[in-house]
Structure 1
């Protein structure tokens, strides 16, 4: 069981507004040192640092809460999965019409000596997964409980960084298994957030690829992109990368394991090679080695 040992910590992220100027926190900030405007400034609060970035020359800023220092930049930060070593939180201006829901990228785990960002978490059925397209796009839930980080965030991060996917699963009997995909990409909204994975290893089985979910577009009950004449998202009451319809839907309704085949549940068919309702699931992404 040592291979399943995981550790987590939570980073505090937020969105702020100063006199009509809206900023948002990004996952990690990769700042171009040549775009630094002036010198590091001493400020008491995050809001004061943001206020300094109101001028048109400032595109982004970073704030160190422990040192109470602020840095302004003339260019925008690049989202990254790398952990910063400088103690700064990174923010940038919200451009008109821009999707900026990086604030959900907050919970981190260590698994197999790698650091992972949680993008989906199910464990108590406290939130409904039967949601519309924009909710799956933007994310919902809370990092302290069940949540979905958002398809647009997945797309932005996996587009800018070579990324791996880790799926952790636990049965009602307490058996834990995992599926690791060394390559993980989510396409753009124009491409319906298609999922592409490769390089499987693990103990839970390669359910995404062997059962037809790989390379599928995402579907919700108001945006049906599966391969059936019906809406899988309506039938299974959840958004997912459906084919026809579901063999490994970890967004499915939460149900107890009664010993019977049950597809209308959190399932990963290759976990036991039949439809066994699972108790917990977690999807995570990390920089590819």
Structure 2
């Protein structure tokens, strides 16, 4: 789960072998196989980071073999905050702010059985087939349904793995990896 440079892999999607449409308790503890598709677990992520900041790296791959990476500082709250993800600075990438704006907003984690998203009239995790830090339902979801090819129906595609500012809202990605690394200035204190 740890790669070079102190990075810890927290999520990997690559072949659809694991169903990411899981309830809160499963996202909290983690699931899947660290050698393949998996989710480390919200509680483990929080324990790794403590009350300190971290860097989050996101690696995306489309069906044409193109890849994009981005990295930005974050903070992750505990279960009492629904593991809220706070973007502590603008993203260091041309992909722009994809989860929501402004960048200082905290996004609680939502699952189909625990709706904490900022979309008051619906449950994004239930609609989009996977738990995630949703602001509204349209900016990103790397835990959506995995497709082995791009579906023809737009309604089906929106349930897939997507990052709106790179390939668009209705383009399901082929592979993703998420990694965290404690910030050097925070880890030293």
TM normalised by structure 2 equals 0.85
Give structure 2 stretches of 5+ with no counterpart. Answer: 185-189
CA contact (8 A) 1:138 1:152 kept: yes
- Structure-2 residue corresponding to 1:257: 150
Structure of higher RCO (CA pairs closer than 8 Å, 6+ residues apart): 2
1:284 aligned partner = 179
Larger mean Cα displacement after TM superposition, 256-265 or 190-199: 256-265
Deviations 1:132-189 (CA, angstroms, capped at 9, x unpaired): 11000000011111000000111122225431100000001111101101x2221111
TM-score between the two structures when normalised by the length of structure 1: 0.57
Q: Is the 8 A contact 2:138 2:164 kept in 1?
A: no
- CA positional deviation for 1:273: 4.3
Q: Give runs of aligned pairs for residues 56-135 of structure 1, distance below 5 A.
A: 107-110=1-4, 114-135=5-26
User: Number of aligned pairs?
Assistant: 179
Partner of 1:283, secondary structure, is: strand
Show CA shifts across 1:162-218 (max 9, x none).
Answer: 31100000001111101101x222111111111012332135443124498951111
Q: State which structure, 1 or 2, has the greater radius of gyration over its C-alpha atoms.
A: 1
- Match of residue 44, structure 2, among 146, 149, 153: 153
Can you give the 5+ residue segments of structure 1 that lack an aligned partner in the other structure?
A: 1-106
Where is the strand percentage greater, Structure 1 or Structure 2? 1
**Matches of 1:235 and 1:131 in 2, distance apart?**
13
Cα RMSD, aligned residues only: 2.3
**Alignment partner, residue 189 of structure 1:** 79
In structure 1, how many angstroms separate the alpha carbons of the residues matched to 2:104 and 2:143? Answer: 13
